[in-house]
Amino acid sequence: MNFWHRLLNPNCPDCALALHESQYCKSCETLKQTVARLEDENRRLLNHLLAPKPIILEHSEHEELEPIRPAHVSWNARRQMLEAEDRAKAKILRTQKLEDEILKSNAAGGLKEVPAKGGLV
């Protein structure tokens, strides 16, 4: 009987409603909503992870780095490097001592002449 009814009345509204109700499943609808929610979360997470981040440049004081020295340096070359470093440090100390003497003499009120070669007064 059902076969003949569908064959003779293919667009029957009662049959269309019954077909729609048979295709509708509450658990399937719940699963579809869950899948849609998870896809949306995954899309948002991917967009967040793949979004370009602003580059923040931190300004730090640029320190002078020592040049890379070869692993094996002869004693003569090492001695010359150490002597050059010592001379540079001595020159800095000498200029600081002269500046300190000038500041002390100016603070004392009397302007004294400071020797040009760093000798004491």
SS3 of the chain: CHHHHHHHCCCCHHHHHHHHHHHCCHHHHHHHHHHHHHHHHHHHHHHHHHCCCCCCCCCCCCCCCCCCCCCCCCHHHHHHHHHHHHHHHHHHHHHHHHHHHHHHHHHHCCCCCCCCCCCCC
In a domain, 65, yes or no: no
More confident of the two residues 84 and 54: 84
Predicted pLDDT of residue 8: 78
Give the chain's domain count: 2
Flag whether pLDDT at 93 surpasses 90: yes
In a domain, 94, yes or no: yes
Cα radius of gyration (the chain): 45
Flag whether pLDDT at 41 surpasses 80: yes
In a domain, 61, yes or no: no
Predicted pLDDT of residue 54: 79
Which residues constitute the domain of residue 23? Answer: 2-50
